[in-house]
Amino acid sequence: FWGLGSDGTVGANKQAIKIIGEEAGRCAQGFFVYDSKKSGSVTTSHLRFGPRPIGAPYLVDRATFVACSQFSLLERLDVLAAAEPGATFLLNCPYGPEEVWEHLPREVQEEILTKTLRVFVIDAERVAREAGMGGRVNTVMQTCFFALAGVLPPDQAIAAIKRAIEKAYGRRGEAVVRRNHAAVDAAL
């Protein structure tokens, strides 16, 4: 999962690891790479999960799911380098499915075709903004991950995400929880 510090990607992925471990009964591992200044710098979240304990190195070098929460990262980083053939690619972008292709860098188009990736796009910034969350796209992207990855049945995943939101943001007030719940519902 590629993101920028302060967009909530790392926090959402830490929550996802907990949900996968607790709700899906799977062994899960997360490793996070980010700059010490964090805010505005590139972050990468490496998540692994499966039925058996994980004894692999931390960084994922062969991914079946890649997400990018910042469209601009496609211009300067090879976000698809670790994508396995046939992997799912989730992209936050301001372009809809019918127009996104013409805005992707040529190298990204070539990787999508060569690796026969399944590509899904969402304007997570718009969804977050309309839910009153500003530029924090984490809840939207996390919801999309669970909807696409099939780790849990959709209803169970959404309920788990909403419980995690209540636990994480409950002390900030009901309005914050309500906005995050609205972002989950709108993302679907």
Q: What is the pLDDT along the chain (188 residues), one digit of tens a residue?
A: 999 887 888 889 999 999 999 988 999 999 999 877 767 789 999 999 999 999 887 799 999 999 999 999 999 999 999 999 999 999 999 999 999 999 999 999 999 999 999 999 999 999 999 999 988 899 999 999 999 999 999 899 999 999 999 999 999 999 999 999 999 999 98
Res 134: pLDDT: 86
Return the structure tokens found at 65: 């799911």
End-to-end alpha carbon distance in the chain: 19
pTM of the model: 0.93
CB 114 within 8 A of CB 87: no
- Assign residue 103 a region (left: φ > 0; alpha: ψ between -120 and 50; beta: otherwise): alpha
Distance of alpha carbon 1 from the chain centroid: 6
CB 51 within 8 A of CB 24: no
Running DSSP on this structure, what letter comes out for residue 5?
Answer: B
Res 131: pLDDT: 95
**48-86 pLDDT, tens digit each:** 999 999 988 779 999 999 999 999 999 999 999 999 999
Rg (CA), the chain: 16
CB 51 within 8 A of CB 27: yes
Return the structure tokens found at 117: 């990736």
Res 38: pLDDT: 65
CB 43 within 8 A of CB 10: yes
Neighbours of 89 (CB within 10 A): 22
Res 36: pLDDT: 73
